[in-house]
Amino acid sequence: MNFELTDDQKAIRDVFARLCDEKIAPQAAALDEAHAFPKELFGQLADLGFFGIRYPESAGGTGLDLVTFCLALAEVARGSLSLAGAAAMQSLMGTKFLHMLGNEDIIGRLFKPALRGDKIGAICMTEPNAGSDLDSLATSAKKVEGGYALSGQKTWVTNAPVADFFTVFARVGPEKKLTIFLVERTFPGVTVGRPIHKMGVWALPTSEVAFEECFIPDSHRLSSEEGDAEQHLRKLLAEIRIVTGAMALGVGRAALAEATRYAGERKQFGKTINRYQAIQFKLAEMATELEAAAHLVMYAAWLKDSGKPHHKEAAMAKLFASETGAKVCDQAARVFASYGFAMEYPVQRYLRDIRFTLIGGGTSEILKLIIAKELSK
């Protein structure tokens, strides 16, 4: 791989880096403490075309590559992982199946407005008794005249409290074929349930969503045929893992920058603590491991952009970047010592938020199984 970024990739990265420094980071703590969806910043991302980076110009996007998207997303995450999580959902999981499988009405009425930030989408896969195990999904859709009757409960639905539509995975018929449906929030039988109070990403709304005999017209079955959900999902999973790795990079870089700044200001025994070898070693290790993670993430993104096999590398990138991000945030808090435990410094938010990246896109244990399976082929 040629690791030299193009001028366009650098320019787009720099646009979002400036947005992070001037707009996102200064508001991140207040949004977090208010547990408030970052509506204004979400709109600014839309104005900059962020939600359309991964979609062709013919669909209202800008048709850029995954490397570019990861560069931009990492900068957003450096300012606020809550905003980055909401933006990643809107740019990828919440809208991808509409673009892939939606009819003209869905594209015009929901997908394109979502790229402009006028509509918000979410994806419903996880259930109270089904996470990584897709075979355990119990939400079902019964065929009725003109459509389907959808029943079931989903949980850990990112953006659900503010979403206008949901991409829902459900089983159909006696053979329980996994199928994709588009459910609009206004459909009778849709209930957005209690918010899930999380230890981190407080400004990223997450809740349960229940469906009770919710009528879904045939036009809103996104699957081209009943039972093809997994093949469509596989096309997206690697990309989800790569972008989750990019978000972990952003948080890790923010933590490293804060630790480096603090170490240059905090004095103990007559000199700043960055002059002590113990702190120097921490900072050096953090920087080195983040650089390695960045190369893995960008390499996986480049493989995807090049049309090359990338599922193993995507799993590796997400595994290493999220674990590295978690380690870096922990080490950054240790540089702060007691102040790393204080709410007045952002390092505590990074330490809480980074765990989001350890879960999204597959746990580390699941990713290791995937990597091992790929190695045995």
pLDDT, tens only, 203-255: 999 999 999 999 999 999 999 899 999 989 988 999 999 999 999 999 999 99
Q: Do 32 and 203 contact (CB within 8 A), yes or no?
A: yes
371 CB-near residues (< 8 Å, 6+ apart): 312, 315, 316, 319
User: Rounded CA gap, 228 and 127, in Å?
Assistant: 19
For the chain, list residues with pLDDT below 50: none
Q: Do 176 and 136 contact (CB within 8 A), yes or no?
A: no
User: Rounded CA gap, 154 and 358, in Å?
Assistant: 20
346 CB-near residues (< 8 Å, 6+ apart): 28, 29, 254, 258
Q: 3-state class of 199 per DSSP?
A: coil
First to last CA, the chain: 23
User: Rounded CA gap, 78 and 206, in Å?
Assistant: 21
- Position 235 scores a pLDDT of 85
- Position 152 scores a pLDDT of 97
Which residue shows structure tokens 């957003």? 76
User: Percent of the chain scored above 70 by pLDDT?
Assistant: 99
- Position 237 scores a pLDDT of 93
How far out from the chain centre does Cα 227 lie? 26
Sign of the torsion formed by the C-alpha atoms of 60, 92, 250 and 4: negative
240-249 as b/e: b if 16+ CB within 10 A: bbbbbbbbbb
For residue 115, list its beta bridge partners. none
User: Rounded CA gap, 206 and 195, in Å?
Assistant: 6
Q: Do 219 and 181 contact (CB within 8 A), yes or no?
A: no
How far out from the chain centre does Cα 211 lie? 24
For residue 123, list its beta bridge partners. 167
Q: Record the pTM.
A: 0.95
The burial of 205, by beta-carbon neighbours within 10 Å (0-12 exposed, 13-18 middle, 19 or more buried), is given as buried
- Position 224 scores a pLDDT of 87
- Position 1 scores a pLDDT of 56
231 CB-near residues (< 8 Å, 6+ apart): none
